[in-house]
Amino acid sequence: MKNIFAILFATTCILAGCSHNPASPVVPVVLPVDPVDEVLVSSRREQFRKATAGMAVRGIWFRPANFQNKMPAEQLANELRSLGCTRAYLCITSETELDDWLGEVAKAIGNAGMQCDVVADLHGFQHRKRGNQFLTWLLPASPDLVDLAQLLMEKEKNDENYAAINGFTAVMNPHLFNRANGNTSADVLYTWNDNTKQRSYENDALIKYAMSVASKLQKNDGTRLTLAIHNRFYQMVKAGALEVGTADDFIEACPQADQFIVMAEANKPGEIASRFAKESRLPKTGEKSVIVMIRLAEHTSVSAGRLRRRDWNDMTRAISHNAKMCCKNPAFGGITIGPYATIRAMLMEK
């Protein structure tokens, strides 16, 4: 009988170790078959540096897992620095990506004179239960965003490479909790409804859930906490389709946050600047506290929620235009652009 209990205990421990959020598939980093020469690449890097010059934060975001086994961490950091980057945003999709490779990347970025944040999102880190009814009762759920912040804090204290990390960015994306999204847990009580122009109880509940999670986030002394908020929430609040959801509402819920990112996803440069301006004029946003996130289209055709571009010159002009428009506002703290794999491909394409 003792042996049976010992086997059951050991099996439970093994299964408990498997209770984690699934990592997204790694996306291969693809470069043009016939890249331009190094002289033009150097000129383009200079263009990019000029387009983002003068901003407190010149950020680039990417997922380190996509670059693992593709290049040394030092090369990746040097490429970012050559573009004038001052802060790298390291996106992860599972707590399993808090691994040695991410630590190597963070240390290389710090050694290159840049800062870095680890980035994770609300929807990607849910309390998921796995297994049959017995195992669901017995085993712990996978960590949520609050648990992840705690894991990162421990890594920063105990791992020399992770000590190079300067902050944690939490992406508040409750609008992804919908049944069309295959990664939404079946345990979720509410689902987001994009098809209503009127107030939705479930949408309000999900926004309040996001604000509740934000209120519990913690950070180590000397590091920063950033909240990333989608610009659609502001628009929905002003249209009467949401009760709360502006940057000010999240600031009130999470006063420990140091900075905010407005995820101003749009196709045209003017739209991005306009959406930032509305959020940054709210009374509680402080000076240089709001960063604008720009998501580049992976190709030249129009992509929903991504800045359209024809070529490198067109892209840098769009970024420069946004910077000039946004700099007029004292709340503007800088921009973060990505994904870096797209920037890197554009840098070398003819």
Which domains, from first to last, does the chain contain?
Answer: 35-348 (3.20.20.70)
State the helix-helix crossing angle for 312-326 and 38-51, rounded to 10 degrees: 20
List per-residue pLDDT tens for the chain, 350 residues long. Answer: 445 544 444 444 444 444 567 788 888 777 777 888 999 999 999 999 999 998 889 999 999 999 999 999 999 999 999 999 999 999 999 999 999 999 999 999 999 999 999 999 998 887 655 544 444 444 456 788 999 999 999 999 999 999 999 999 999 999 988 877 767 666 677 889 887 677 889 999 999 999 999 999 999 999 999 999 988 898 899 889 999 998 889 989 999 999 989 887 665 656 666 666 666 666 566 767 889 888 887 665 555 556 666 788 888 988 888 888 888 888 888 999 999 999 998 899 88
Q: How do strand 224-230 and strand 259-263 relate by DSSP bridges?
A: parallel
305, 62, 93, 65 alpha-carbon torsion, rounded to 10°: 140
Number of other CB atoms surrounding residue 159 within 10 Å: 16
β-bridge partners, 307: 296
